[in-house]
A and B are shown apart, each in its own frame.
Chain A
Amino acid sequence: MTSFSDDPFAPLMRRVADGDSAAFAELIAGTRTLVAGIVYRFLGHARETEDLAQEVYLRAWMARKRWQPKARVTTWLATIASRLCLNERPRLARRRTLPEQDVAAAEDGRIGEDEAQGVRQAVLSLPDDQRMAVALKYFGERTDREVAEALDLSLSAAQALLFRARRKLIDLLPPP
């Protein structure tokens, strides 16, 4: 694990670990876009993203006393998010009806644009593990090492996963 003594969220997280709910509200406000961004690009479903992102913070609060400043706080949250997504996706997929899958994109605001729709379809076509690696790397702004930490993989395994995902995405999304 990498040490991040200059993590801007670490002082806030120390207060959260002590049970400071005001600090927790600040942490949520500062990280929710990143966490929801990872979850959304994995699930591709806005409503489920809101629910699952809430669950991420609920679990973070429950685990706050076990937090150690060994990695960036956002990587810790990304790890919770990725594990929750990978565990919950089969259940969510079973619960969804086909019409819900079809209208999910339409619910998601600007997704009607061709370019966005093409990217969405390409990312969602990836296998779960590759899609999560892409969500962490490109939408969660993690380094390869942080992707590896979040997915509990070696660095070389995470890079191999990213390579397979990129190979497919480049085929599906050729440069304009």
Chain B
Amino acid sequence: MNCNEAREALSAAEAGTPPEAAGHLEACSECRAWAAGLAALPARLAAWPAPPLSGSFEAKVFAALPSTRRKSRWALVAAEFLIFVLGSLTGLGAVRALGPGPAQVARPVDPAALGGGGDLADFVTGDER
């Protein structure tokens, strides 16, 4: 094993001295010095600190996420339209059954009456949250 092979084996060993490099290290002072440099590397690199992130980091991340608010607004408009249409149909049905009554025609339907206010809330909120 030459110096380069011994150093490559030392580098690839995540801990300790690999047996195949041990014999070479005993005989080679330059590679022993290199091994010492390798062992010291984590501590040397740790001398370079990273500056802290700003306190508003998380807030900035959330502000950059795809706007669920805009999506929600459109979903809300769609939901309101759906409610209006269903309300109109239900109202018209009532009109046909009960006779004329303008106040009943466009009355919105209670979401709960559509079979699940929770589902509607999910629809309005969208799946990005």
Contact = CB atoms under 8 A, between A and B. Distances in A.
A29 B58 contact: yes
A69 interface: no
A19 B128 contact: yes
B7 A167 contact: yes
Interface residues of B, number: 34
Contacts of B38: 166, 170
Interface string A153-175: 00000011011001101100111
B29 interface: no
B61 A173 contact: no
> For chain A, which range describes its interface: under 10, 10 to 19, 20 to 34, or 35 or more residues?
35 or more
A109 interface: yes
Contacts, number: 103
Overall SS of chain A's interface: helix
Contacts of B49: 109-111, 116
Given A116-B48, A166-B38, 19 more contacts: A28-B57, A32-B53, A32-B58, A41-B48, A50-B53, A53-B57, A54-B57, A55-B64, A61-B65, A109-B49, A111-B49, A138-B46, A139-B50, A162-B12, A163-B8, A163-B12, A169-B45, A173-B37, A173-B44
Interface of B: 7-8, 11-12, 14, 33-34, 36-38, 40-42, 44-51, 53-54, 57-58, 60-62, 64-66, 127-129
Which 3 pairs of residues, A with B, have the shortest CB-CB distance?
Answer: A170-B37, A119-B48, A163-B11
